[in-house]
Structure 1
Amino acid sequence: MLRVEPGSPHPGGATWDGAGVNFALFSANATKVELCLFDSNGRRETDRIALPEYTHQVWHGYLPDVRPGQLYGYRVHGPYDPAAGHRFNPNKLLIDPYAKALHGDIRWHDACFGYRVGSPRADLQIDRRDSAFVVPKCVVVDTAATWGDDQPPKRKWADTVFYEAHVEGITARRTDLPERIRGTFAGLSDPRVIDHLVNLGVNALELMPVQAFFDDRYLVEKKLANYWGYNTVNYFSLAPRYLSPGAGIDEFKVMVRRLHDAGIEVILDVVYNHTAEGNELGPTLSFRGIDNASYYMLAEDKRFYFDTTGCGNTVNLRHPRVLQMVMDSLRYWVEECHVDGFRFDLASSMGREYDHFDPNAVFLDAVRQDPVLQRARMIAEPWDLGPNGYQLGNFPPGWAEWNGRYRDTMRSFWKGDDECLPAFASGVLGSADLFDHHGRKSWASVNFVTAHDGFTLADLWAYNEKHNEANQEDNRDGHDDNRSWNCGVEGPTDDPEILALRDRMRRNIMATLLVSQGTPMLLMGDEIGRTQNGNNNAYCQDNEMNWLAWSDIGERDQAFFEFVRGMIAIRQRHSILRTRKFLHGDRVDDNGTRDVVWFRPDGAEMDDASWGDGRAKVVGLLLNQPDEELLILVNAYHAPMDFVLPGSASGRWRVIVDTATGEIDPPDRTVEAAASVPLDGRSLLMLCGKCG
Structure 2
Amino acid sequence: MSMKAGVDVTPQGARFCVHAPRARAVSLCLLEAGQEVRHPMTQQGAHWTIDLPGLGDGARYAYRAEGAHAPEQGLWFDPAKRLIDPAVTEIDRAYRYDPALGEYGAETGDLMPWGLLRAPLSGQPPAPLFQPGGLIYELNVRGFTMRHPDVPEAERGTVAALAHPSVIAHLTALGVDAVELMPITAWIDERHLPPLGLTNAWGYNPVTFRALDPRLCPGGVAELQATVAALRAAGIGVILDLVFNHTGESDTGGPTLSYRGLDPDVYRTGPHGLVNDTGCGNTVDCARDAVRADILETLRHFARCGVDGFRFDLAPIMGRNADGFSAQAVLFQEMAACPVISSRVLIAEPWDIGPGGYQLGKFPDRWLEWNDAARDDMRRFWRGDVGAGVLATRLAGSSDVFDGAATRSVNFIAAHDGFTLWDMVAHTHKHNHANGEDNRDGHNENISWNNGVEGASDDPRVTAARRQDVKALLGTLFASRGTIMLTAGDEFGRSQQGNNNAYAQDNEITWLDWAGRDLEIEAHAQALGQMRRAHPDLRDLAFLTDETVTWHRPDGGQMRPEDWARRAFAKVLPTIAILVNGTDAPVHFTREDQMVPARSVIMIEGQAG
TM-superposed CA distance for 1:83, in Å, is: 3.2
Partner of 2:380: 412
TM-superposed CA distance for 1:433, in Å, is: 1.4
Indicate which of 618, 633, 636 corresponds to 2:582: 636
Counterpart mapping for 1:390-401 below 5 A: 390-401=358-369
TM-superposed CA distance for 1:602, in Å, is: 4.1
Is the partner of 1:164 in helix, strand or coil? strand
Is the partner of 1:61 in helix, strand or coil? strand
The answer to whether residue 349 in structure 2 is matched with residue 381 in structure 1 is yes
In structure 2, C-alpha distance between the alignment counterparts of 1:350 and 1:40, rounded to whole Å: 42
1:560 to 1:108, Cα distance in 2 relative to 1, 3 A: closer
In structure 1, C-alpha distance between the alignment counterparts of 2:449 and 2:6, rounded to whole Å: 51
Indicate which of 323, 345, 351 corresponds to 2:292: 323
1:333 to 1:352, Cα distance in 2 relative to 1, 3 A: same
Partner of 1:214: 188
CA contact (8 A) 1:150 1:260 kept: no
TM-superposed CA distance for 1:206, in Å, is: 0.1
Partner of 2:145: 171
Partner of 1:584: 545
Moved over 6 A (4+): none
TM-superposed CA distance for 1:537, in Å, is: 0.7
Q: Which amino acid aligns with 2:25?
A: K
Partner of 2:224: 252
Q: Which amino acid aligns with 2:269?
A: L
Indicate which of 562, 568, 579 corresponds to 1:618: 568
TM-superposed CA distance for 1:428, in Å, is: 0.1
CA contact (8 A) 1:209 1:270 kept: yes
CA contact (8 A) 1:75 1:90 kept: yes
Partner of 1:421: 388
The answer to whether residue 266 in structure 2 is matched with residue 295 in structure 1 is yes
Partner of 2:132: 157
1:472 to 1:135, Cα distance in 2 relative to 1, 3 A: same
In structure 2, C-alpha distance between the alignment counterparts of 1:268 and 1:681, rounded to whole Å: 39
The answer to whether residue 247 in structure 2 is matched with residue 275 in structure 1 is yes
1:144 to 1:430, Cα distance in 2 relative to 1, 3 A: closer
Is the partner of 2:283 in helix, strand or coil? coil
Q: How many residues align?
A: 609
CA contact (8 A) 1:205 1:266 kept: yes
TM-superposed CA distance for 1:152, in Å, is: 4.8
Gaps of at least 5 residues in structure 2 are none
Q: Which amino acid aligns with 1:17?
A: T
In structure 2, C-alpha distance between the alignment counterparts of 1:427 and 1:180, rounded to whole Å: 43
In structure 2, C-alpha distance between the alignment counterparts of 1:161 and 1:507, rounded to whole Å: 17
Q: Which amino acid aligns with 1:609?
A: E
TM-superposed CA distance for 1:251, in Å, is: 1.3
Counterpart mapping for 1:193-208 below 5 A: 193-208=167-182
In structure 2, C-alpha distance between the alignment counterparts of 1:108 and 1:576, rounded to whole Å: 50
Q: Which amino acid aligns with 1:174?
A: H
In structure 2, C-alpha distance between the alignment counterparts of 1:107 and 1:269, rounded to whole Å: 22
Indicate which of 78, 100, 107 corresponds to 1:130: 107
CA contact (8 A) 2:62 2:115 kept: yes
In structure 2, C-alpha distance between the alignment counterparts of 1:562 and 1:109, rounded to whole Å: 47
Between 338-347 and 459-468, the greater mean CA deviation after superposition: 459-468
TM-superposed CA distance for 1:604, in Å, is: 3.2
In structure 2, C-alpha distance between the alignment counterparts of 1:582 and 1:108, rounded to whole Å: 49
Between 257-266 and 130-139, the greater mean CA deviation after superposition: 130-139
Indicate which of 3, 9, 13 corresponds to 1:20: 13
CA contact (8 A) 1:9 1:24 kept: no
CA contact (8 A) 2:95 2:187 kept: no
Counterpart mapping for 1:315-464 below 5 A: 315-335=284-304, 337-417=305-385, 419-437=386-404, 441-442=406-407, 444-464=408-428
Indicate which of 142, 145, 148 corresponds to 2:119: 142
Indicate which of 74, 78, 85 corresponds to 1:85: 74
1:252 to 1:368, Cα distance in 2 relative to 1, 3 A: same
CA contact (8 A) 2:174 2:525 kept: yes
Is the partner of 1:425 in helix, strand or coil? helix
Larger radius of gyration: 1
Q: Which amino acid aligns with 1:51?
A: M
Indicate which of 523, 526, 541 corresponds to 1:562: 523
CA contact (8 A) 2:92 2:116 kept: yes
1:144 to 1:277, Cα distance in 2 relative to 1, 3 A: closer
Q: Deviations over 1:297-336 (max 9, x none)?
A: 11124xx11111110111111111111011111111112x
Q: Deviations over 1:649-685 (max 9, x none)?
A: xxxx4xxxxxxxxxxxxxxxxx3xxxxx554321223
Q: Deviations over 1:595-651 (max 9, x none)?
A: 22222344333233333x4xx222222223xxx3x3322121223345443xxxxxx
Indicate which of 514, 518, 532 corresponds to 1:571: 532
CA contact (8 A) 1:415 1:636 kept: no
% identical equivalent positions: 41
Partner of 2:65: 76
Report the RMSD for the aligned CA atoms in angstroms: 2.1
In structure 1, C-alpha distance between the alignment counterparts of 2:4 and 2:225, rounded to whole Å: 22
Q: Deviations over 1:113-139 (max 9, x none)?
A: 1x4xxxxxxxxxxx2222111111111
After TM superposition, the score normalised by the length of structure 1 is: 0.85
Is the partner of 1:389 in helix, strand or coil? coil
Q: Which amino acid aligns with 2:57?
A: P
Q: Deviations over 1:334-365 (max 9, x none)?
A: 12x11110000000111112352211012111
In structure 1, C-alpha distance between the alignment counterparts of 2:502 and 2:87, rounded to whole Å: 31
Gaps of at least 5 residues in structure 1 are 1-7, 116-126, 586-593, 646-652, 654-670, 672-676
Partner of 1:121: none
Q: Which amino acid aligns with 1:632?
A: I
CA contact (8 A) 1:162 1:203 kept: yes
Counterpart mapping for 1:413-562 below 5 A: 413-417=381-385, 419-437=386-404, 441-442=406-407, 444-553=408-517, 557-562=518-523
The answer to whether residue 179 in structure 2 is matched with residue 190 in structure 1 is no
1:97 to 1:168, Cα distance in 2 relative to 1, 3 A: same
Between 495-504 and 278-287, the greater mean CA deviation after superposition: 495-504
Q: Which amino acid aligns with 2:311?
A: R
TM-superposed CA distance for 1:78, in Å, is: 1.4
TM-superposed CA distance for 1:143, in Å, is: 4.6
TM-superposed CA distance for 1:259, in Å, is: 0.7
Q: Which amino acid aligns with 1:573?
A: A
Q: Which amino acid aligns with 1:86?
A: L
Q: Which amino acid aligns with 1:578?
A: R
In structure 1, C-alpha distance between the alignment counterparts of 2:560 and 2:479, rounded to whole Å: 23
Is the partner of 2:473 in helix, strand or coil? helix
Indicate which of 48, 51, 59 corresponds to 2:41: 51
In structure 2, C-alpha distance between the alignment counterparts of 1:340 and 1:427, rounded to whole Å: 26
Is the partner of 1:520 in helix, strand or coil? strand
Q: Which amino acid aligns with 1:579?
A: D
In structure 2, C-alpha distance between the alignment counterparts of 1:138 and 1:691, rounded to whole Å: 60
Partner of 1:234: 208
Is the partner of 2:176 in helix, strand or coil? coil
TM-superposed CA distance for 1:689, in Å, is: 3.7
Counterpart mapping for 1:302-317 below 5 A: 304-317=273-286
In structure 2, C-alpha distance between the alignment counterparts of 1:350 and 1:153, rounded to whole Å: 23
TM-superposed CA distance for 1:463, in Å, is: 1.3
After TM superposition, the score normalised by the length of structure 2 is: 0.96
1:150 to 1:604, Cα distance in 2 relative to 1, 3 A: same
Q: Which amino acid aligns with 1:165?
A: L
CA contact (8 A) 1:152 1:260 kept: no
In structure 1, C-alpha distance between the alignment counterparts of 2:3 and 2:154, rounded to whole Å: 38
TM-superposed CA distance for 1:151, in Å, is: 4.7
1:578 to 1:562, Cα distance in 2 relative to 1, 3 A: same
With a CA cutoff of 8 Å and minimum separation of 6, indicate the structure with the bigger relative contact order: 2
TM-superposed CA distance for 1:535, in Å, is: 0.7
TM-superposed CA distance for 1:487, in Å, is: 1.0
Is the partner of 1:507 in helix, strand or coil? helix
